[in-house]
Amino acid sequence: MLLTVDVGNTRIKVAVFEKDSILMHAVFLKDEAEKKIENIFKNFSGITFSVFSSVGKLDESVLNLLRRHSNLNIISSETHFPFQNKYETPKTLGVDRMVLASGATLLFPEQHRLIIDAGTCITYDFVDAQNNYLGGAISPGFRLRYESLHNYTAKLPLLTLEQPEGFIGNSTKESIHSGVVNGIVNEIEGFIERYRQEYQHLTVILTGGDAEFLAKNIKSTIFANSNFLLESLNHLHNYISDND
């Protein structure tokens, strides 16, 4: 069994895999990590390997816990990835983006891939059919947009994500929801269309915490999977093991 651990900006996502099947997955806050992961090892005594990626900070005690209970593989910019990194500043490319690009490369061979990760930020990552990672884009996600409207104005309220009642907001609340939700949906649709104009046979993968909500609003053909990063960690770990 393999334990995959992804540390994001605000939360930690974990999953236990038996080959390519997810036996369990969970999401929790960073201050819960040590207790939650300890319980996972107790409940799944067959875990022999763990793979870890992080864009946020995590206590060294959690890494030590993973090392005590398993053979730990930490993903970094030095990892052997299944694509050629053409990013102009490869050392600044987030590990989460490289993991997603790896999963797309391994699961969708010989085609162009656009991976959209909708979380705190929305990231766009493109890997061409020749397995070259070319880059992408980063923009604010739902929470950042709602908070920005509240924090940088005098009177706009702080709202949380809701489906707008209509395209034309007939109140301040509905206008904010329409602006944030339709703004992101149109942004994503625009990115997909732009890529499809330049690259035929494009596979679009939508993932992240807000993927399920967005999938209901996006008209373009996409492959939506909120667990794609954890699954990508599993496939990348197997790729590294097979190519050592």
Kindly report, residue by residue over 144-193, the tens digit of the pLDDT. Answer: 999 999 999 999 999 999 999 888 999 999 999 999 999 999 999 999 99
For 35, half-sphere exposure in the C-beta direction (CA atoms, 13 angstrom radius) is: 5
Burial of 211 (C-beta count, 10 Å sphere; 0-12/13-18/19+): buried
Model pLDDT, residue 90: 87
Alpha-carbon distances of 12 from 90, 157, 162, 225, rounded to whole Å: 24, 29, 24, 17
Model pLDDT, residue 91: 85
The pair of structure tokens assigned to 168 is 């034309």
Domains of the chain: 2-74 (3.30.420.40), 84-233 (3.30.420.40)
Task: Give, for 5, the enclosing helix (H) or strand (E).
Answer: strand 2-7
Judge whether 53 and 233 are in contact, CB under 8 Å: yes
Rounded to an integer, what distance in angstroms lies between the CA atom of residue 123 and that of residue 102?
15
Model pLDDT, residue 141: 96
First to last CA, the chain: 19
Handedness of CA 211, 216, 219, 223 (dihedral sign): positive
The pair of structure tokens assigned to 199 is 């690259």
Model pLDDT, residue 59: 77
Model pLDDT, residue 60: 86
DSSP E strand boundaries for 8-146: 12-18, 21-28, 49-54, 71-74, 84-85, 112-118, 121-127, 132-140
Judge whether 52 and 73 are in contact, CB under 8 Å: yes
Model pLDDT, residue 54: 87
pLDDT in tens, the chain (244 residues): 999 999 887 789 999 999 889 999 999 988 888 999 999 999 999 999 999 998 877 778 889 999 999 999 999 888 999 999 999 998 889 999 999 999 999 999 999 999 999 988 999 999 999 999 999 999 999 999 999 999 999 999 999 999 998 889 999 999 999 999 999 999 999 999 999 999 988 999 999 989 999 999 998 888 899 899 999 999 999 999 888 7
Query: Residue 73 phi/psi, 5° resolution?
Result: -115, 110
| Helix, strand, coil share (%) of the chain residues, nearest 5 | 40, 25, 35
Model pLDDT, residue 10: 73
Predicted TM-score (pTM) of this structure: 0.91
Pairing of strands 121-127, 112-118: antiparallel
Rounded to an integer, what distance in angstroms lies between the CA atom of residue 104 and that of residue 110?
11
Q: Which residues are catalytic?
A: 96
Model pLDDT, residue 200: 87
Task: Give, for 185, the enclosing helix (H) or strand (E).
Answer: helix 183-198
Average confidence score pLDDT of the chain: 93
Model pLDDT, residue 156: 96
The pair of structure tokens assigned to 115 is 């991976």
Model pLDDT, residue 180: 97
Model pLDDT, residue 184: 97
